[in-house]
Amino acid sequence: MKKAFKYILLKHFLTVLGSFTILLFCFLTNKVNSTSIKNNEKNFPIERPLNLFNLEESADTIFNLVQKVGGKPVANIQKTRLKKNENLSSLLKRINFEPNHIIKIINSIKKLNKGPKILSSLPIGMIINYSNPSSLTGGALKLNYTKTRDIFVWQDVKNEYNSQVFLRPTRTEETLITGVINNNLYISALKSGIPENTLLEMISLLGFSIDFQREIRSGDSFEVLFTKKIDTLSNFIIETKPIKYVSMNLSGNKLNFFSYKDKFGLPQYYDENGKSSKRTIMKTPINGARLSSRYGNRKHPILGYTKMHRGLDFAAPSGTPVFAAGDGIIEKAGWYGSYGKYIKIRHTGTYKTAYAHLSGFHKNVRIGKRVLQGKIIGYVGTTGRSTGPHLHYEVIKNNIQVNPLKIKLPAGKNVSKENLVDYKNHIKSILNQKIALEKSNQNNVIAINNHNMSNKLIFN
């Protein structure tokens, strides 16, 4: 009896110990898993699993989608776009679907997860491929609903309509683009295959160090490294990530910048020594404008006599956005005599900047409000005493206008001392990636050349 009691007690003890061990084990493995995922996120971008949200992969054509789902065969596939003031019903009517088919199609989409929301949020201009139903062929629609999702509607062999959301397959690619400038950076860079938003990023980050109007010569070269996400079906770039590395070679003078996350997790750019790419004030707070009048004495175009011009004039079409030249607080925003519509920003203790002859202010601009560098504050105009649309830009140091092109601007925040070792390692890994990409780019060129040669052989 006593023995039996002891046995039960032991058994209980073992059960408790067992469950505790299992719990501990679960806890530990869980912890190990989650840290390893975190590390992965940090070091390698994880490919999105294809079964995310349990969506199947889309296909490039309606025909292939019908094959995939085993629907009624389609023929004579056509293409249209959703027009303004149109919904799916009116669109279907326009492309000659019968009313009873339209009702069935709409009902089948309504049955999807968040179906009614999908129907009310179809984007204007969305491409729709379709096949009209007939006695022999099935009705089918492929809606390019978002960049990553297609909605497919098809008729099965029993003539019932079915709907399903498909995920467009994507892949991410590290990309290194190099190029030589033929008198214009913008055109040369676009020709070299840099996506436009990456180019704008590149220009705004280099804009602090390079005067694009005077410092660029033909033969100067550039390199840029970034990650892009590509739609595997269409081969279109659907997203680009912030630039990782950019380099400009200006008449042998090399400038390199690397992205590195600041304490808020935002990418900032620094040179190889950890010096910030940012200056506290931009020399040119506008994109693509021509410097039409410099700082100094000049004959005034309206008043006729010689007058000191205490700023820079940038000729640009009315409506061209004007940026805040630096972080600061709006001190003035309103009409200011011959300056017309005028904004003044107070930056650090010593610097202010002013923007005149504007056609209007950005809706967020209010006196006393904080603005960030590079944000739009207003638009070029010709208000006040002005002969044509231009931005009159002043840099004011200790309440006196100075020549914006001559001032030595203090830099933004550099990489902190405690992060410097980590930063240098980070640069090393980016440069290694660059070298690997250079090799694979070269291999691609060789492959293309070989391909061309073999083509020639065949055709000759």
Q: Specify the DSSP class assigned to residue 53.
A: G
Shorter beta-carbon distance to Zn ion: residue 217 or 300 = 300
- Strand order in 321-323's β-sheet? 321-323, 376-379, 360-361
* Binding segment (CB under 5 A) for Zn ion, from list 106-114, 156-164, 200-208, 384-392: 384-392
Q: Contacting Zn ion (CB under 5 A), which of 392, 394, 415, 434? A: 392
Token pair in block for residue 196? 């436009």
Q: How far is the CB of 309 from Zn ion (least distance, A)?
A: 6
Q: How far is the CB of 314 from Zn ion (least distance, A)?
A: 9
Spatial distance between the Cα atoms of 151 and 161, rounded to a whole number of angstroms: 13
Give the number of residues written for the chain. 460
Shorter beta-carbon distance to Zn ion: residue 13 or 335 = 335
Q: Specify the DSSP class assigned to residue 48.
A: P
Encoded one letter per residue, x for contact with Zn ion by CB under 5 A and - for no contact, window 407-426 reads: --------------------
Q: How far is the CB of 295 from Zn ion (least distance, A)?
A: 9
273 three-state secondary structure: coil
Shorter beta-carbon distance to Zn ion: residue 311 or 378 = 311
* Binding segment (CB under 5 A) for Zn ion, from list 67-75, 243-251, 345-353, 392-400: 392-400
> Closest Cα to residue 316, out of 357, 280, 370, 346?
357
Beta bridge mates, 149: 167
CB under 8 A, 24+ apart: contacts of 361-367? 361/333, 365/330, 365/333, 366/330, 366/333, 367/330, 367/331, 367/332, 367/333, 367/334
Q: How far is the CB of 382 from Zn ion (least distance, A)?
A: 12
Residues 273-332 that bind Zn ion (CB under 5 A): 311, 313
Q: Are the beta carbons of 218 and 232 closer than 8 angstroms? A: no
Q: How far is the CB of 285 from Zn ion (least distance, A)?
A: 14
* Binding segment (CB under 5 A) for Zn ion, from list 37-45, 152-160, 212-220, 389-397: 389-397
Shorter beta-carbon distance to Zn ion: residue 222 or 314 = 314
Give the residue closest to Zn ion by C-beta.
392
HSE (side-chain half, CA atoms, 13 Å) at 45:
11
Shorter beta-carbon distance to Zn ion: residue 221 or 403 = 403
# binding residues, Zn ion (CB under 5 A): 3
Spatial distance between the Cα atoms of 142 and 124, rounded to a whole number of angstroms: 15
Q: Are the beta carbons of 178 and 222 closer than 8 angstroms? A: yes
357 part of the interface to Zn ion, by CB under 5 A: no
Which residues here bind Zn ion, judged by CB under 5 A? 311, 313, 392
